[in-house]
Amino acid sequence: MMIRETVKEAMKLRSVKSKDLAEHVEVTKSTMSLFLNGKTNLGQEKIEKILDFLNIKLVITQ
């Protein structure tokens, strides 16, 4: 599963609005929308903030 889909699912489960996530990550609402729709990428720092805010643990397996 891609990070975007995981983030969207976590937002849905936790009732987090993209506006609130954007504020926490310090990006505009439109930038967050572009990210969630796969039209732009965010840097590692922003991704880490998103994962932390949504309490998502990233596990890399082989």
- The first and second tokens of residue 25, run together, are 């990550």
pLDDT at res. 9: 96
Looking up residue 34, the CATH number of its domain turns out to be: 1.10.260.40
Quote the number of domains for the chain.
1
Asked if 21 contacts 32 with a C-beta cutoff of 8 angstroms, the reply is yes
> Given this model, what pLDDT does residue 54 score?
97
Residue 60 inside a domain? The answer is no
The whole domain housing 47 covers 3-53
Name the residue among 38, 49, 40, 41 with its Cα closest to residue 16: 49
Question: pTM of the entire structure?
Answer: 0.88
Q: What is the rounded distance in angstroms from the CA atom of residue 30 to the CA atom of residue 28? A: 5
Token pair 């609402």: residue: 29
Q: What pLDDT is attached to residue 46? A: 96
What is the model's pLDDT at position 1? Answer: 55
Q: Is 62 among the domain residues? A: no
Q: Is residue 33 part of a domain?
A: yes
Q: What is the pLDDT of residues 7-60, one digit of tens each?
A: 999 999 999 999 999 999 999 999 999 999 999 999 999 999 999 999 999 888
Tally Cβ neighbours within 10 Å of residue 56.
Answer: 16
The tokens describing 50, both together, are 């998103």
